[in-house]
Amino acid sequence: MSAPEAKGGVAVLASGEGTNLQALIDAAARDGLSRIELVVSDRGEAQALVRARTAGIPAIHLSPANWSTRAAYDQALADLLAERGIALVVLAGFMRILDADVVRRFAGRMLNIHPSLLPRHRGLRTHRRALEAGDRLHGSTVHFVVPELDAGPAILQYRIAIQPWDTLTGLAERVRHGEHFIYPLAVRWWLQGRLSCTDGQAHLDGKPLVAPLVATRDMAPIPG
Ligand code: GRF
Please give the DSSP secondary-structure letter assigned to residue 27: H
Q: Do 162 and 137 form a contact (C-beta atoms < 8 A)?
A: yes
Report the C-alpha gap between 181 and 222 in whole angstroms.
11
Whether 14 is in the pocket of ligand 1, judged by its Cβ within 6 Å, is: yes
Helix residue ranges, H only, 10-69: 19-31, 47-54
Whole-prediction pTM: 0.94
Tens digits of residue pLDDT in 94-127:
999 999 999 999 999 999 999 999 999 999 999 9
Mean of per-residue pLDDT scores for the chain: 93
Give the pLDDT confidence of 16-71 residue by residue, as tens digits: 999 999 999 999 999 888 789 999 999 999 999 999 999 999 999 999 999 999 99
Q: Is 157 in the pocket of ligand 1 (CB under 6 A)?
A: no
Which domains can be identified in the chain, with CATH numbers? Answer: 9-222 (3.40.50.170)
Confidence band, pLDDT 50/70/90 cuts, at residue 7: low
Known catalytic residue at 114 = yes
Q: Label residue 111 exposed, middle or buried (CB < 10 Å: 0-12, 13-18, 19+).
A: buried
Catalytic residue among 61, 114, 177, 203: 114
Q: How far is the CA of 176 from the centre of ligand 1 (A)?
A: 7
Ligand 1 pocket residue status of 42, Cβ below 6 Å: no
Q: Answer whether residue 1 shows pLDDT above 80.
A: no
